[in-house]
């Protein structure tokens, strides 16, 4: 009786192992790359909360290609080619290549970090520029730099794009919070935002007292 029970258990274990390896005849698993890539001069952000990265471009409305992975809002992607309403992209973090509907892709110019910053400041400036909250807000910022010598963070808006003053204050407040987080040892923190409300240029200054000043 004991031997019979052992044989049954062994048979069940063997069947379970074979099932796990073969997938019981299901479609083979999509091969996933885990090699990260270096972003180009431009970065791209998903405009929705999540999006399916497909293994191929659908050929008609009822066509349902396999899903390679889910992409979250703010994930960095690099475009490869466009075909109608679909864009082939590469996911920066994983290296996966697949297709997205172009309505999910928002082009953002990548900041060219100021060469005079120290490595630490440049890395922090890049983290701020690529922060999920920063990208969700879609502030018209073209450049982020941190000047350690002056305990200062500088936002520069894109040329020709208007920046509402209330939104500018919100952006500067975000920058001040990040500056305090990355440089907690500084005795004072300053954020400068150079922008324009259309035809009227301004410089917004925000310090640790939290009171915005427009120059």
pLDDT tens digit string along 34-70? 444 454 445 556 655 578 899 999 988 899 999 999 8
CATH superfamily of 42-109: SH3 Domains (2.30.30.40)
152, 146 Cβ separation under 8 angstroms: yes
Q: Would you give the DSSP letter of residue 14?
A: H
* 203/122: higher pLDDT: 203
162, 197 Cβ separation under 8 angstroms: yes
Question: How is domain 119-214 classified at the architecture level of CATH?
Answer: 2-Layer Sandwich (3.30)
Q: What are the pLDDT digits (tens) for 78-116? A: 888 889 889 898 887 888 999 998 888 876 554 444 444
pLDDT, position 23: 37
Rounded to 10 degrees, what is the CA torsion of 118, 122, 124, 127?
-170
108, 43 Cβ separation under 8 angstroms: yes
The arithmetic mean of pLDDT across residues 136-141, rounded, is 88
Q: Return the minimum-mean-pLDDT range out of 26-30, 118-122, 208-212.
A: 26-30
Please tell me which of 62-66, 71-75, 119-123 the model is most confident about, judged by mean pLDDT: 62-66
84, 61 Cβ separation under 8 angstroms: no
What whole-number distance in Å separates Cα of residue 64 and Cα of residue 56?
Answer: 9
**Residue boundaries of the structural domains of the chain:** 42-109, 119-214
Identify the three-state secondary structure at position 78.
strand
DSSP 48-68: SSEEEEESS--SSTT--PPEE
Q: What are the pLDDT digits (tens) for 157-199? A: 887 889 999 999 999 999 999 999 998 888 889 999 988 887 7
């Amino acid at each position: 009786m004991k031997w019979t029970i052992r044989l049954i258990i062994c048979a069940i274990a063997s069947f379970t192992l074979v099932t796990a390896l073969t997938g019981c005849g299901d479609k083979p698993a999509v091969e996933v790359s885990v090699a990260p890539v270096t972003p180009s001069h431009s970065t791209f952000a998903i405009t929705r909360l999540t999006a399916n990265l497909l293994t191929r471009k659908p050929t008609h409305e009822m066509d349902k290609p396999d899903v390679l992975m889910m992409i979250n809002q703010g994930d960095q992607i690099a475009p490869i080619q466009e075909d109608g309403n679909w864009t082939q992209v590469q996911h920066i973090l994983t290296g996966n290549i697949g297709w997205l509907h172009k309505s999910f892709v928002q082009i953002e110019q990548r900041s060219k970090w100021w060469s005079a910053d120290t490595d630490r400041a440049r890395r922090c400036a890049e983290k701020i520029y690529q922060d999920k909250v920063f990208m969700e807000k879609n502030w018209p910022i073209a450049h982020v730099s941190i000047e350690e010598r002056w305990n200062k963070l500088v936002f520069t808006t894109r040329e020709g794009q208007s920046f509402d003053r209330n939104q500018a204050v919100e952006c500067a407040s975000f920058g001040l919070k990040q500056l305090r987080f990355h440089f907690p040892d500084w005795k004072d923190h300053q954020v400068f935002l150079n922008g324009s409300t259309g035809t009227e240029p301004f410089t917004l200054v925000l310090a640790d007292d939290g009171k915005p000043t427009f120059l």
